[in-house]
Structure 1
Amino acid sequence: MPVWSRTLVGLRRTLQSDPERLRRIQVLPEFQTPQEVKIPGADRILTYEISGDSHGFPIFLHHGMPGSSSGPRPRNAVLYRSSIKLVSYSRPGYGRSTRSPGRTVADAARDVAVLADHLGFEKFAIMGRSGGGPLACAALLPDRVLRAAVLASFAPAEAVDLDWDDEMVGSNCWARRTRTRS
């Protein structure tokens, strides 16, 4: 079973059966134009895309580095069969989302909370991969995040004898060095 499928099946366990679901099914288009949400109190926007089952359980996908909301994600059919509404958003400085110099992981949690409020999600799950993995930290939104999953995440920065660039593709090495300086 592919890693996406295993992860989605694990996250799906938070779903409750809904006999009315079959009456209100709407599969979202496979590709769509990114939408925008303004961050309150800041002069910036986040762009996002939604795919899967329009009435499914919401899961936020934190893309890798470099990446954006348009990056790789499970096919709509997989999301639909799993009753998942996937929200892929471009983190600040990626895709069409406005940069946010000096941002922290805590800022990412606030961004997800703003986006969840905008979309009307009280509870949701989060999933991150690669450079987006650490942002899938649910510690800052414990009352809202029901599950979290991290795929192919970075090693801890304080790991002994860690060579961050070892076996990383050139574009990711460049992006990591560029982001570290900003």
Structure 2
Amino acid sequence: MADSEEAAKAFEIADATPADAEAVLAVKDQAWREAYAHLLPAEYLAGPMDGGPERTERWRGYLTPDGARRFALVHRGGRVVGFAGAGPALDEDCPAPLQLYTAYVLAEMYGTGAAHAVVERVLGEQPALLWVFEDNPRARAFYAKLGFVPDGARQLAEFRGRFVSEIRMVREPPPPR
């Protein structure tokens, strides 16, 4: 690989802190615009997607280390270009003790290994579950590479009057070595 190609793929993974909330939200909004234009209303994607000014404070709370949740960032060229977060499973019928709450990288990072590295940072090899939009073949294929399989559970998420189907995917523990 040429040096310029190697440099283009270089990234670092670091634990997130409350001070990273604005950068995380900027990545989340851009990643949603890049990945979900076919699923969500344009007016929803045009602005801050999950609330008003209080959302930064809410995310500062999410990113505060509490021993149960873990968030990590992807850095490239001095800026945040991805993130992931995991913690205790939220489902009532918990098929796994850990849940991947969120995982996004910007389109410029597709194929670099950054998404895999940041998810690995927050999950390790532990059994886990996640929810993903059913009509999101790229994400579903990515999660399948990480060992996640659909378990048959479905739910609907509403975004300004549009309902989008989500499926649950579960990863079993790796076999003993």
* Structure-2-length-normalised TM-score: 0.34
Structure 1 length-normalised TM: 0.33
Say which structure is richer in strand: 2
